Amino acid sequence: MTIRIDLHVHSMYSVDSTIRPEQLPLYARKRGLDGVAVTDHDRLDSALRISRESNFLILPGMEVTSLDGHIVGLNLKESVPKGLTAEETVDRIHDAGGIAIACHPSAFFKGSLGECATSRFDAIEVINSSAIPFRYSVRRSEELASRLGISRVAGSDAHYGPEIGCAYTVVKAELVAQDIISAIKKGMCQPFGKGIPLGMRLKREFFSFRKSRSP
Ligand SMILES: [Zn+2]
Ligand SMILES: [Zn+2]
C-alpha cells in the first residue's frame, strides 16, 4: 500500500512551536495524512511520549543541531546530542536505530547543512514547506539528492497546526514504523507539497511570538 506522512513536525515541546499533541491527528487527518513524524529540536522524549500515547501513527524523531547544520533523525530509540559534526551525528543516529535526513539543506536562515549533506545520509528533505526561498531551496535540494543518489522526502516543518501536511512523503509501505523506515532507505518514496502560504506563516510567527512572551 502507499501511505502519506509528513516527516517533519514540531510539537509545543519545541520552544518555537504551538502545536499541542492532540492537534497532531486532527490536522493530519484533515490533510489526508496517515501519520506524522514529531521532530522537536534537540529532544526525543516529547516525540516518544506522544507516539506512545497516540493511536494515530507518530514516528518518533528529533531535529539535531549539529555543528554543521540541522539533521533530522527518525525512528530513534535514544536521543542524539547536539554540537557534534554532521558525520558524527549521522553515525549516532544510525547507532540509535534511526535514519538520518538532511533537512532543508539549501534553505537560508535555518542552520542548513549545505555541502555537509553527504551520501552518508539516508535521505534528503527535498521539499521543506518552511524553507526560504522556497523554489530555490527545492531546486537545489533536488540537484543534491540526484548528485548523491539518495532518497527524497518531504515535510512541512510545521510549528503551527494548520501547517501540518503542507508537504508530505508518499511511501510504499504498510502503516508500521519499521516498514516505513526501510522503504525510505530503499528509495520507495516520493516528496510532495508546497511552501507555507504567507498568511499562514504570519499567523505562525504571531503565535510563536506570543508563546515566547507568555510566562
Ligand atoms: Zn531546521
Ligand atoms: Zn524543523
pLDDT, tens digit (0-9, with 9 covering 90-100), for 137-182:
999 999 999 999 999 999 999 999 999 999 999 999 999 999 999 9
Closest CA to 44 of 14, 85, 86: 14
Query: What ligand is nearest to the CA atom of residue 155?
Result: 2
Reference 90, options 128, 59, 116, 110; nearest CA is 116
Rg (CA), the chain: 15
Ligand 2 centroid to Cα of residue 10, in Å, is 6
How far, in Å, is the centroid of ligand 1 from the Cα of 1?
30
pLDDT tens-digit readout, 63-107? 999 999 999 999 999 999 999 999 999 999 999 999 999 999 999
Find out whether the peptide bond into 133 is cis, omega within 30 degrees of 0: yes
The pLDDT of residue 215 is above 80? no
Phi, psi of 39 (to 5 degrees): -135, 70
User: Which pLDDT value is given to residue 109?
Assistant: 80
Residue 131 Cα to ligand 2 midpoint, Å, equals: 10
